[in-house]
Amino acid sequence: MIYKRRHDLEINEIESLWLEISIGESKPFLLSLIYRPPNSKQDWVELYDARLDIVDCSNLKYYILGDIDINYMINDEVGSFNNIKWSDLVSTFYLKQFITCPTQLIRRALQL
């Protein structure tokens, strides 16, 4: 396995690390490791969206891992997500959210 850090995809205002990973003869893929502090401004999503625009044009598969700290649960009162900007980004880039319940519930379940 060979990897290369992609400094060109990183932004100072976002705690992130982008790696281009090559395994054997397979086509390389990108891995984004990110952390969004709870006190981040809403423009964080816009900055990350701009990077995903670049990545999406690279014709490489990409995976995003990290702690985004965004409430991605549907608000039953309004029938939509609590964070519209993030849900729009997820839809635009056809991303899949693997964690589907609050992580506090997962932590509690693991402690049993």
Burial 3-31 (b: 16+ CB within 10 A, else e): eeebeebeeeebbbbbbbeeeeeeeeebb
Length in residues, the chain = 112
Q: Is 59 left (phi over 0), alpha (psi -120 to 50) or beta?
A: left
**What pTM value is reported for the model?**
0.76
* Spacing of C-alpha 54 from chain mean position: 14
- pLDDT over 60 at 78, yes or no: no
Does residue 78 or residue 67 have the better pLDDT?
A: 67
Q: Is the pLDDT of residue 5 over 60?
A: yes
> For residue 94, how many other CB atoms are within 10 A of its CB?
7
Find the range with the poorest average confidence among 28-32, 99-103, 106-110: 106-110
Look up the domain containing 21 and give its range: 2-111
Neighbours of 72 (CB within 10 A): 16
Q: Tell me, what's the pLDDT at 10? A: 93
pLDDT score for 76: 59
Least reliable range by pLDDT among 3-7, 24-28, 31-35, 107-111:
107-111
